[in-house]
Amino acid sequence: MKITERSKARRGHTRSGGLGKLGRGVAIALMTGIAPLALHASIDREASYEPVSPTVDQARANILIARQLQFTHFRDLSIDDSLSSEVFDAYLDYLDGQRVYLTQQDLERFEPLRYGLGAALKTGRLQPGFDIYNTVQQRVIERLEFALDLVNQGIDKLDFDRDESLLLDRSEASWVANQQELDELWRKRIKNAVLAQRLSDKSDEDIEKSLKRRYESQLNRSRQARSEDAFQAYMNAFAGMWDPHTSYFSPRTSENFNINMSLSLEGIGAVLQGDNEYTKVVRLVPGGPASKQGQLQPADRIVSVTQEDEDTPVNVIGWRLDEVVDLIRGPRNSVVTLEVIPASASDDSMTRTIAIKRDQVKLEEQSASSEVIQLQRDGNNYRIGVLTIPTFYADFRAMQKGDPNYKSTTRDVRQLIDELEDDGIDGLVVDLRNNGGGALHEANDLVGLFIDEGPTVQIRNANNDVQVLTDQDPTVSYDGPMVVMVNRMSASASEIFAGAIQDYGRGLVVGSQTFGKGTVQAVRPLNHGQLKITQSKFYRVSGGSTQHKGVVPDIEIPSRVDFSRIGEDALDHALPWDQIEAVPHTRYFDFSGIIDQLRKNHDERFATDPEFQLLQQEIDFLTEQRAQDYVSLNADVRAVELQQIEDTRLRIANARREIQGESTFETLEELEDWQTAQAADPDGQEDELDFILREGGHIMADMLELDRRLASIGAMETIAAQAN
């Protein structure tokens, strides 16, 4: 599908129900102070909420942001009527992404602002955005009060014998027509929440306490809205028109930027971001507590946080990101328990609790490591070296001090390669799965360990100036056959390395399509907060960008990850893939003569390997769950559906244990108890060679066999030609 430079309109540009343009005269009039009266005319004043107003500093920052976006961002966009309309949709999506607070009547009141927001944003007139924010906050309060009233009436009055259902994902749905329809939607949402907890064997008394605690917590937060909350939401909806990595940081967020973006200092080691009402896990920090514990996953959404010395969980739905971060951080060796909606959950009411011991993420725990795997095939023994690189790191502080022994990815890998070659390896597998990137110069230097010299990556800025990073060191640490393993969480610097190895023909890339993060951001100070802005874009030496498309493996291995939710191409307004001129580079090996046979061998192993068969069953199961649009609110139907899900999970888990020679579990509860016990002691778990990595070794062995066969055939053909 072709993606234009304007970028596709926000999902559902016609979400407002096809309302027509009402003319600029109305919009301009609303910018002059009439809007607040019009927008708030129907607000129920009994609900206590004090509308927030913009400040002079925010208005100045708005003007600076608009200028930076127009004149320094990589994408060239004009703030015109079309963009104004997209900002309007994006802002409403930001504030009510699931269409559960606003009605079509509210949208009709907002509609005159659609084509006036752009002009207002260029000149620092923030009141229209604040008017929308205040109305949404008021609607949130009204909904939460409705929910509390319904729960207080007694959940025993809810009828679970009726054949009703609830749409799970309303992000593409239309807003309901009026308050009566919204009441009906929320009645179903509460029924769903109650039913989910009943099926988890919770008593009605506990369910009522839980729901009251959740709604009261959200209600208190909504009533405490600050001017900065509205400004940050509005600016992020505006900045997000250029690309999803351009965003505004409030002064509070800017003060703790590094901590807020990566909870690596006495935390859990996770990168978090706001996702409508939720805080979502973006990725796990390699070597961090959450990564080692193994249960928290990217795209999980955090519902509540419980401290070690407290029994009552704190519901964090609707909380600000920085406040959730502060709650999760804590003293080293203390335990924090997160209640999350798993990324694989088919229903937001399905949650699990994960206890993680806080710790510091040490550089040595993110370091590259190596091992040798031995494969017996048709009487031949292959020794395959494996390099695992969790991130591209460098001890910048030690470098600045002039320490000759400072740690870095390239220095560590060079030493590990020497050790592996001393062990007599036949080939090398470089494992970059879940490597989210890191230091760009380390990716450049690492490529240099495998090529004589030459370009490694191209960087193009907004002025179309192209900088080419090169390896100028002619020495090669390893010149043997290579396989590079990647997956959806391999991003940025990982994609630069994998793309270069692929372009040079130095090795095969195996796994799943990578993330597609091919842009570079800079953080620029404002008079009020900071702006993180995309300023350049990565391109491979072959000319294609790593942006949006990522690196497509030569041999693909299916993944459990939902590509529609994780990856650059899953983000709204992501910069498109494109290409520039290639730069001269050597092609070390042409795999075209053997790639079909390599894929055939892989497919045959996939068809007979029980672990691959289980992987495919898991993928099919998850795909089926994700495709479920509605959930039943009938207790009997829901119980049957839940039992089927639990039976499938238990069957797959037991099948895997049988393959590993372990005893099976009688019930899902036994399985979950065992998983919890394992996760509580990540350091005590034995490292096992995962079958995906083992397959990388088999592909390497295939390469060695086919390469020798081809060489032999070539030699015979040469001899025959000379004889004739």
DSSP track, 503-547: HHTSSEEEES------EEEEEEE-SSSEEEEEEEEEE-TTSBBST
Q: What is the mean pLDDT of the chain?
A: 86
SS3 247: strand
Domain boundaries of the chain, sorted by first residue: 25-239, 247-357, 365-591, 629-688
The CB density around residue 402, as the number of other CB atoms within 10 Å, is 7
Picking from 75, 89, 77, the residue whose alpha carbon sits closest to that of residue 576 is 75
CA atoms of 229 and 237, how far apart (whole Å): 12
Least confident piece of the model among 160-174, 281-295, 495-509, 587-601 = 281-295
For 444, what's the count of Cα atoms within 13 Å in the CB-facing half-sphere?
Answer: 19
Instruction: Round to the nearest angstrom and report the end-to-end CA distance of the chain.
Output: 54
CA atoms of 152 and 157, how far apart (whole Å): 10
SS3 470: strand
Q: 292 catalytic, yes or no?
A: no
Helix spans in 627-667 (H): 635-659
Q: 503 catalytic, yes or no?
A: yes
Averaged pLDDT, 351-367: 79
Model confidence over 128-156: pLDDT tens digits?
A: 999 999 999 999 999 999 999 999 999 99
Model confidence at 14, in pLDDT bands (50, 70, 90)? Answer: very low
Averaged pLDDT, 709-714: 52
- Residue 409 clears pLDDT 70, i.e. is over it: yes
Q: Which residues contact 476 (CB under 8 A, 6 or more apart)?
A: 449, 450, 451, 452
Least confident piece of the model among 239-253, 352-366, 377-391, 638-652 = 352-366
- Residue 37 clears pLDDT 50, i.e. is over it: no
CA atoms of 708 and 681, how far apart (whole Å): 46
Q: What amino acid is encoded at 228 in this protein?
A: E
Choices 2.30.42.10, 2.40.160.40, 2.60.40.290, 3.30.1360.120: CATH for 247-357: 2.30.42.10
- Residue 82 clears pLDDT 60, i.e. is over it: yes
Q: Which residues of 128-138 are buried (b: 16+ CB within 10 A; e: fewer)?
A: bbbbbbbbbbb
CA atoms of 332 and 452, how far apart (whole Å): 45
- Which residue pairs from 675-684 have beta carbons closer than 8 angstroms and sit at least 24 positions apart in sequence? 675/295, 676/355, 678/294, 679/293, 679/294, 679/295, 679/354, 679/355, 680/355, 682/289, 682/292, 682/293, 682/294, 683/292
- Residue 325 clears pLDDT 70, i.e. is over it: yes
Q: 348 catalytic, yes or no?
A: no
Model confidence at 19, in pLDDT bands (50, 70, 90)? Answer: very low
Instruction: Check: CB of residue 267 under 8 Å from CB of residue 330.
Output: yes
Model confidence over 670-681: pLDDT tens digits?
A: 988 888 777 766
Instruction: Return the beta strands (E) in 390-518 as ranges.
Output: 427-431, 454-461, 466-471, 482-486, 508-511
The three-point CA angle 168-174-177 to 5° equals 115
Least confident piece of the model among 147-161, 475-489, 516-530, 678-692 = 678-692
Averaged pLDDT, 572-599: 95
Model confidence over 485-503: pLDDT tens digits?
A: 999 999 999 999 999 999 9
Catalytic residue among 359, 503, 562, 569: 503
Q: Which residues contact 548 (CB under 8 A, 6 or more apart)?
A: 3, 516, 518, 568, 569, 574, 575, 576, 577
SS3 445: helix
CA atoms of 456 and 497, how far apart (whole Å): 8
Handedness of CA 657, 662, 667, 673 (dihedral sign): negative
Catalytic residue among 250, 492, 512, 632: 492
Q: What amino acid is encoded at 510 in this protein?
A: V
Query: From residue 273, how far is each of 161, 225, 249, 486 by CA, in Å?
Result: 39, 19, 12, 24
Instruction: Check: CB of residue 513 under 8 Å from CB of residue 552.
Output: yes
Instruction: Check: CB of residue 341 under 8 Å from CB of residue 355.
Output: no
**pTM for the predicted model, two decimal places:** 0.85
Task: For residue 302, list its beta bridge partners.
Answer: 279, 340
Catalytic residue among 292, 357, 517, 549: 517
Least confident piece of the model among 22-26, 70-74, 598-602 = 22-26
Phi-psi region of 511 (alpha: psi -120 to 50; beta: other; left: phi over 0): left
Least confident piece of the model among 442-456, 545-559, 609-623 = 609-623
Model confidence at 333, in pLDDT bands (50, 70, 90)? Answer: confident
Question: Among residues of the chain, what percentage have pLDDT more than 90?
Answer: 64
Averaged pLDDT, 588-615: 94
Choices 3.10.20.30, 3.40.190.10, 3.40.50.300, 3.90.226.10: CATH for 365-591: 3.90.226.10
Q: Which residues contact 656 (CB under 8 A, 6 or more apart)?
A: 611, 614
Query: From residue 640, how far is each of 33, 199, 352, 628 by CA, in Å?
Result: 56, 10, 20, 15
Residue 438 dihedral angles phi and psi, to the nearest 5°: 140, -140
CA atoms of 268 and 414, how far apart (whole Å): 30
Averaged pLDDT, 5-34: 32
Per-residue model confidence (pLDDT) at position 379:
87
Q: Which residues contact 168 (CB under 8 A, 6 or more apart)?
A: 346, 347, 348, 628, 629, 630, 631
Picking from 546, 519, 516, the residue whose alpha carbon sits closest to that of residue 533 is 519
Instruction: Check: CB of residue 341 under 8 Å from CB of residue 300.
Output: yes
The three-point CA angle 57-63-68 to 5° equals 125
Model confidence over 256-313: pLDDT tens digits?
A: 544 333 333 457 888 888 877 789 898 888 878 888 888 898 889 999 999 988 888 8
Picking from 346, 349, 352, 350, the residue whose alpha carbon sits closest to that of residue 630 is 346
Question: Among residues of the chain, what percentage have pLDDT more than 70?
Answer: 87
Instruction: Check: CB of residue 251 under 8 Å from CB of residue 319.
Output: no
Q: Which residues contact 662 (CB under 8 A, 6 or more apart)?
A: none
For 171, what's the count of Cα atoms within 13 Å in the CB-facing half-sphere?
Answer: 12
